[in-house]
Amino acid sequence: MGIPSKDRIRAKLKAGNTLVRILLAHPMHTGRAENESGELIPAEFIQDIRCWRNDREVLTIKCGTATARNPYFSFQLVGGQQGDTIMIRWVDNLGAKGSVETTVK
């Protein structure tokens, strides 16, 4: 993979509600696939994603192995205004963590 991937988040107002789109950079190995030399790739997948709006937790997403590689999520939050902060934190099954935040445009 040529381009180093990283977590992305976009939030914008749409008809009075906040539209949030998240793209996380994660291989999401299921633990059942094999690599070129036929060895099993150990499971590595995001388990828990949490979303905050202005320090208030609004959404929890729990994932199994069947969430696609580089997980994408899109949802709306009721109301909101420009300048709200939207923050995402995730944890995978090996304990790796990530967080990303943005302000509503």
Partner 1 sequence: MIDKLNEQRRVLIKGAISASTLALVATSGLLLPQQLLAHWPTDAFSAEAVEDALLALLGQADIADNTIIQFKVGAPPSYAINGASVPIEIQSDLENIEQLLVLVEKNPFPLVMSLELTPEVKLPFKSMIKIAEDSQVIAVIRAEGKLYKTTRFVEVDIGGCA
Interacting residues with partner 1 (CB under 8 A): 17, 30, 32-33, 47-48, 53, 56-69, 71-79, 91, 95
The residue among 6 and 62 lying less far from partner 1, judged by its C-beta, is 62
The residue among 8 and 65 lying less far from partner 1, judged by its C-beta, is 65
Cβ 2 to partner 1 shortest distance, Å: 19
Long-range contacts (CB closer than 8 Å, 24 or more residues apart) made by 93-98: 93/43, 93/44, 93/45, 93/47, 94/44, 98/7, 98/24
Cβ 61 to partner 1 shortest distance, Å: 5
Helix or strand (DSSP H, E) at 17: strand 17-23
The residue among 1 and 68 lying less far from partner 1, judged by its C-beta, is 68
Cβ 79 to partner 1 shortest distance, Å: 8
Query: 15: which residues sit within 8 A by CB, 6+ positions away?
Result: none
Helix or strand (DSSP H, E) at 30: none
Cβ 32 to partner 1 shortest distance, Å: 7
